[in-house]
């Protein structure tokens, strides 16, 4: 009973070493280069009014549908605008 398993394993091992498949004409999965990975992000809690939260969610949804920006990018942009308005700098500590 285990003889057929050994035969299948042997056949599979030969295919792996030769780089061939049982059907070389079959389509193969192609991996495309994705855009550069986004920066590492952390979840931070902020307390805002419900109306502000809903408005931000609506904006984020619309931007995502238009494939422009996602919610983390929008939140970061908002923080950058606040920092600029109040004269602070975005300090990056490594």
pLDDT digits (tens, 9 = 90+) for 6-36: 899 898 888 888 878 888 788 877 777 766 7
Measured CA to CA, the distance from residue 46 to residue 69 in angstroms comes to 21
Number of domains in the chain: 1
What is the C-alpha end-to-end distance of the chain, expressed in Å?
A: 61
Measured CA to CA, the distance from residue 50 to residue 27 in angstroms comes to 50
In this predicted structure, what is the pLDDT of residue 37?
Answer: 73
Task: Tell me if 52 is assigned to some domain.
Answer: yes
Task: Tell me if 23 is assigned to some domain.
Answer: no
Q: Which residues form the domain of 60? A: 48-88
pLDDT digits (tens, 9 = 90+) for 75-85: 999 999 999 99
Q: What is the pTM of this model?
A: 0.55
Task: Tell me if 8 is assigned to some domain.
Answer: no
pLDDT digits (tens, 9 = 90+) for 59-68: 999 999 998 9
In this predicted structure, what is the pLDDT of residue 92?
Answer: 67
Measured CA to CA, the distance from residue 89 to residue 93 in angstroms comes to 12
Task: Tell me if 68 is assigned to some domain.
Answer: yes
Confidence class for position 3, pLDDT limits 50, 70, 90: confident
In this predicted structure, what is the pLDDT of residue 75?
Answer: 93
C-alpha torsion angle, residues 21, 26, 27, 31 (rounded to 10): -10
Q: Which of 91, 52, 93, 89 is nearest to 74 (CA)?
A: 52
């Amino acid at each position: 009973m285990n003889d057929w398993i050994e035969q299948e394993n042997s056949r599979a091992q030969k295919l792996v070493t030769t780089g061939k498949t049982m059907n070389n004409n079959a389509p193969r999965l192609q991996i495309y280069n994705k855009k550069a990975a986004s920066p590492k992000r952390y979840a931070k809690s902020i307390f805002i009014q419900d109306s502000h939260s809903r408005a931000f969610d609506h904006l984020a949804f619309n931007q995502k549908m238009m494939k422009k920006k996602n919610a983390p990018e929008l939140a970061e942009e908002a923080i950058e605008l606040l920092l600029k308005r109040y004269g602070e700098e975005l300090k990056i500590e490594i």
